[in-house]
Amino acid sequence: MQRLLATISQELRRESFAPEFSEDAEASGKLWDLSLFFLNEMNNSLAGAAVFGANVMGAAALETVLLLACLKYRSNVLATKKWQKIKGSATAFSSVLTSNRLGLAVLFDIAKELEWLPTSGMSPRFRATLANMVGEEKVVAIEGGIPDVVGVSWIAIILSAGVRNAVHPGRNIQLPLGDIRFVGALSTMMTLIALGTLLEVTSS
């Protein structure tokens, strides 16, 4: 997974995420620094085979890149049905966007509406990259486990929640440790797939 993370990280270029409006430049710069920090921490976790830590950092990186994309495509975001339900004026866009009221689920809704994360699965170019790294059979196996009506983004968020639950000892005391580790590894892989697809669509 470290190889996949390294390939994905190459798509994260500062010039590709310039904010649409100059007033968002400060927020965008801070989010950019955070995205690099989270990806670096994810890599460190993977190097130590700490899949739970990698998943947490990966989910944080995914959320940060979604925020960067929202600043880049601010006008499009403001026009979405999801944003219309969020209170806040357009002049306070970055403040509303980065408030505690907006979580990963809300950002996924915006990304889905703007087709940043296709429900049909991986984007063609990212799929080809992944196939070259892990083999076509493994990619087909991954796709076979993702219903078209759900899509890779929702699988990622569901598994991320599952990983958080898996670290609760009282809730999972009867689960074998091997099963818990598998959930962590699977969630991390799906988060990487969602992140890779998102960057391919939004960084162009």
Is residue 72's pLDDT more than 50? yes
Q: How confident is the model at residue 36 (pLDDT cuts 50, 70, 90)?
A: very high
Report how far residue 64's alpha carbon sits from residue 27's, in angstroms, rounded to the nearest whole number.
11
Is residue 117's pLDDT more than 80? no
Q: CB neighbours of 177 closer than 8 A, spacing ≥ 6?
A: none
Q: How confident is the model at residue 149 (pLDDT cuts 50, 70, 90)?
A: very low
Is residue 90's pLDDT more than 60? no
pLDDT tens per residue across span 170-189? 555 555 555 566 667 777 87
Residue type, 164: R
